[in-house]
A and B are shown apart, each in its own frame.
Chain A
Amino acid sequence: MLTFFVIIPVVIAVFLFVFSGARSARIIAMAFQTALTGFAFYLFMLSRTETVYTQIGGYDGFLGIILRADNLAAVFILLSTVIVMVVTLYCINSDNTRTFWFLLFLLEASLIGLFLSRDFFNIFVLVEVSTVVVTILLMYNRLRRNMYAGLLFLMVNIVVMQFFLFGIGYIYMLTGTLDMDGVAVAIAGMDQSSVALPYALIMTAAASKCSLLPLLTWQPKVNSMPGSPTSITAIVSGLHIKSGIYIFIRFQNVFGDFAARDFFLIIGIITGLVGVILALSQKNIRLILAYSTIAQIGLIMVGLNMDYTYYYAYYGSLFHVVNHALLKSALFMGAGVIIKLYGTMDIDKIRGLWHTHKPAAIATALAIMGIMGAPFFNGSVSKYFMMREVSGLLEWAIILLNLGTILIFLKYATIFFGKPEEGTIRKIHTDWCKMTAIMFFGVASFILGIFGEQFKNFVFNLEVHIEALSYLEKVGIFALSLALGMALTKYIPKDAKLFTRIRDMDLGFREICASLGIFFAVVLVFVGFIR
């Protein structure tokens, strides 16, 4: 049964490639995608009680390839089908070529396959497929102009996957199996020194897929974004990075006690802070959003890598992954409408959105409040759970990261006020498809905020509750951070020299490979010798 989840998007992709001219073909594809979303929901309901699995080929035990959908995988699959469905709705009336539709659904198929597989080599193949598909999608619109960035992105990701393949070879040599559960059982009985090298190799690859620092492998991708259409950036920033987080979670669980959680905790904090600084220094609205994704990923890493006893923080992070995917997609799609409306991507030139285009403004406002952590929005629920049990230095680090996010989005919110300059507004016609798509995410985040506790318990099969007193305390912290943020924005000059230098910074291939090598060496030393 689980093979259908991978096959149906491929069939839709081929169907759209053949019949892409007719509008009815896209409507049929949309219907199939909606059916797939329903099917994913059904799988999710099944997976809450027991793991669904399909043995391909009928072998039993650890032989053969097994597709397993436990709760975490089913949540990610549901998230990806929902996001692809809404993005399809957004693009259904624009004239995108057949290549776009074909690649979009191939990307969905490879991501769903990735979420279902529990086999290291399967993950390798599917990550390579999704890398190639994302490269072509990112270069899509201005093919020749973005080719340098596309080449850089592709080559860096190939190097990263070679590290991964080498690590898998070591794992096979040590344990004799490539199935994740088998490897986890075998590693639990081994001594640490032999596992250090494969751990370093595999986690270098996983960390760079999540775009943790110092592996800015996503930086050229981010720089090539000004050429690609907004729906693609919504999918890549909303969904593709989440696949990196997914494989990171799985690999940490395979290595069990050997996993260097405290190391990645610190890396997460550093990533968050640097992401905030990078986001504040950009002028292009899409780059601001893309770098703020990196900051949020840092925050998610912090929650994921806290001690196992911090049960709330782990599930708070997972909930934040879901929230962030929805909110970032909302912001990117709103940004697409804004760019068409104003004809520019420069944040200094966009003003007065509230009066010009109400639906995009409302959706963007809801998403901004969600991601800042305003009460009654979903961001606050997930951040509440992340912060609930921590104390001391870690709590201050999280508060600092939240303050950074507030600063970024206060800067972004300057597009609402003021008056637009004369003659900059183009008359565009946004049809109901785009409106629905944008409003869907905005409203969804509001609803998820109000019913946050119930939703989270339902999705992750938990029994956690929000205590009123500590929630109010977090609301108080949010209000204070907001006030502090508004005060700080007066003092941050728009064209500080640091910001200009950051904007001009350009990492070449050699520097990125050097950072990969250094990260690998640091992880190896940390796991092999220090612990």
Chain B
Amino acid sequence: MNLFPDVFAIILFFISVFGLLTSRNIIKSIIFILLMQTAVIMFWIFLSSRFGQIPPIINDPALLYDMTYIADPFPQALMLTAIIIGISVTAICITMLNTLFRRHKTVEWKALAQCAREEAVQRNNDI
């Protein structure tokens, strides 16, 4: 049963990869990317602590002899950074999507690709 949380994170990760393959809507793709980030962060957090472990604040020196009782703070610190990076790039993506929506009135991948191609044809005539 100790393996269960890791397997859960892996399954969630690959579900979101599959979801990215099949979403026609850009907002759905962004949500799947967020889900992918959540799965990875969950994987790291499950590495750091299990049920029954204590936080790494030691008052009693006798506890230091058996490290398995103490949760690991390192992945949690890294994941704070990863969460922040994830939020900021998602915010940039949504801003760009907003601009594209105002211009083309659609949020579908195929339709936007078509609009970009038509603009590229116009663009070839001027530098």
A residues within 8 Å of B by Cβ? 121, 124-125, 128, 132, 135, 142, 144-145, 147-151, 154-155, 158-159, 162, 165-166, 169, 172-173, 223, 226-227, 284, 339-340, 343-346, 506, 508-510, 513-514, 516-517
- Assuming the A-B contacts A162-B37, A506-B117, are A148 and B123 also in contact, with contact meaning beta carbons closer than 8 angstroms in the complex? no
The total of chain B residues at the interface (CB under 8 A) is 44
Known: A125-B85, A226-B120, A343-B127. 9 other contacts (CB 8 A): A151-B26, A155-B33, A158-B93, A159-B36, A162-B33, A169-B44, A227-B123, A510-B109, A513-B17
A124 to B81, CA, bound (A): 10
Contacting A517 at CB < 8 Å: which of B21, B109, B112?
B21
A516 to B116, CA, bound (A): 23
Q: Are A513 and B96 in contact (CB under 8 A)?
A: no
* Residue ID in chain A nearest B10 by CB atoms: A166
Asked if B59 CB lies within 8 Å of chain A CBs, one says no
Q: Are B115 and A148 in contact (CB under 8 A)?
A: yes
Name the A residues within 8 Å of B88 (CB-CB): 132
Contacting A154 at CB < 8 Å: which of B17, B43, B89, B120?
B89
A142 to B99, CA, bound (A): 13
Cβ contacts B49-88/A at 8 Å (1 or 0 each): 0000000000000000000000000010010011001001
Name the B residues within 8 Å of A135 (CB-CB): 92
* Residue ID in chain A nearest B44 by CB atoms: A169
- Assuming the A-B contacts A154-B96, A155-B93, A510-B22, are A339 and B127 also in contact, with contact meaning beta carbons closer than 8 angstroms in the complex? yes
Contacting B29 at CB < 8 Å: which of A149, A155, A165, A166?
A155
Q: Interface majority SS on A: helix, strand, loop or mixed? A: helix
Asked if B15 CB lies within 8 Å of chain A CBs, one says no
CB proximity of B119 to chain A, nearest CB, Å:
6
Contacting B113 at CB < 8 Å: which of A147, A148, A173?
A148
Q: Are B127 and A159 in contact (CB under 8 A)?
A: no
A144 to B92, CA, bound (A): 14
Q: Are A172 and B117 in contact (CB under 8 A)?
A: no
CB proximity of A229 to chain B, nearest CB, Å:
11
CB proximity of A28 to chain B, nearest CB, Å:
31
Name the A residues within 8 Å of B92 (CB-CB): 132, 135, 154
- Assuming the A-B contacts A125-B85, A344-B127, are A508 and B110 also in contact, with contact meaning beta carbons closer than 8 angstroms in the complex? yes
Q: Are A508 and B113 in contact (CB under 8 A)?
A: yes
- Assuming the A-B contacts A132-B92, A151-B96, are A506 and B113 also in contact, with contact meaning beta carbons closer than 8 angstroms in the complex? yes
Cβ contacts B1-35/A at 8 Å (1 or 0 each): 00000100000010001001111001001100100
A43 to B17, CA, bound (A): 43
Q: Are B85 and A128 in contact (CB under 8 A)?
A: yes
A524 to B123, CA, bound (A): 42
Q: Are A169 and B43 in contact (CB under 8 A)?
A: yes
CB proximity of B88 to chain A, nearest CB, Å:
8
A158 to B88, CA, bound (A): 11
A165 to B93, CA, bound (A): 19
Q: Are B36 and A162 in contact (CB under 8 A)?
A: yes
A514 to B33, CA, bound (A): 14
Q: Are A154 and B21 in contact (CB under 8 A)?
A: no
A509 to B20, CA, bound (A): 8
Name the A residues within 8 Å of B120 (CB-CB): 223, 226
- Assuming the A-B contacts A132-B92, A172-B75, A339-B127, are A147 and B99 also in contact, with contact meaning beta carbons closer than 8 angstroms in the complex? yes
Q: Are A510 and B113 in contact (CB under 8 A)?
A: no
Q: Are A151 and B127 in contact (CB under 8 A)?
A: no
Q: Are B40 and A151 in contact (CB under 8 A)?
A: no
Q: Are A514 and B40 in contact (CB under 8 A)?
A: no
* Residue ID in chain B nearest A142 by CB atoms: B123
CB proximity of A139 to chain B, nearest CB, Å:
8
